[in-house]
Each structure stands twice: as structure tokens, then as C-alpha cells.
Amino acid sequence: MNIKKPVNKIEKLIDELCPAGVEFRQVGEICQISRGRVMSKDYLKANIGEYPVYSSQTANQGGHNVDEPVIRRRFDKGWNNFHNVYKNLVDAWVLYDNSGESPQLIDEGKNR
């Protein structure tokens, strides 16, 4: 008997949670696809919420000049927040390095 083993995380989840399989549907059949709001710095300042928002879209196409010390400071704070706050608030998390041509899985975990 030849049993197909799951290849990626989606296939593993389907195998685990839907052993009878799932119906294939085009994404457009089950939801409307649209681009979200560009989060400008002014918008973020005017709409302060309970949780911080990190967005690469703080200028057109995400491009803006930020001094290296500021980038490093923001990275250090974000890294600390991820490890000490955010990942403890969710059931499961996945961490990728997206600095190259394609994202690379660094780590993942479950809390519950």
C-alpha cells in the first residue's frame, strides 16, 4: 500500500484536521480579494490602538530613508517584543527570515 506523505505544512494540517480531504475552491469563490489600507505614519499616529502595528508600507512602495541606528534600534525592540510578548499571546507562531529572495523558516512553536 502506497500512502502519500504530507509535503508541506498545509498538507500536514489537512491530513491532521481533515483526513477525508478537502474540496478545492478558488480563493475568489469564497472571499473578496483586495489590497488593504496603506498604513502611513500619520494614520498610525492618529489611530493608536491596543497593539502596535509594524508596516513596511509607511511610504510609497515601502521605500523611505531611515538611518541605520534607527533600523537597528527598531529591530532590537521588535525582536525583544516578539520573543517576550507576542509569541506568548498566540496558540502557535512561525518565524521567517525574509531578507533574501524567498522566506526561510527560522523557528516555530505552539503554546497550548
Residue 24: inside a domain, yes or no? no
pTM of the predicted protein model? 0.41
Asked if residue 108 lies in contact with residue 94, where contact means CB atoms within 8 angstroms, the answer is yes
- Which domain, by its residues, includes 107? 66-112
Nearest to 96 by CA among 82, 88, 106: 106
Per-residue pLDDT of 73-112, as tens digits, reads: 888 898 888 888 888 888 888 888 887 778 888 888 898 7
Residue 37: inside a domain, yes or no? no
Residue 11: inside a domain, yes or no? no
Residue 47: inside a domain, yes or no? no
Residue 49: inside a domain, yes or no? no
Per-residue pLDDT of 42-83, as tens digits, reads: 777 787 777 666 655 444 444 567 788 888 888 889 888 888
Per-residue pLDDT of 13-40, as tens digits, reads: 888 899 898 888 888 888 887 766 666 7
The pLDDT of residue 67 is 82
* 66-72 own/partner pairs: CB under 8 Å, 24+ apart: none
Q: Which residues pair with 1 in a beta bridge?
A: none
Residue 90: inside a domain, yes or no? yes
Count of domains for the chain: 1
Nearest to 59 by CA among 75, 40, 44, 42: 40
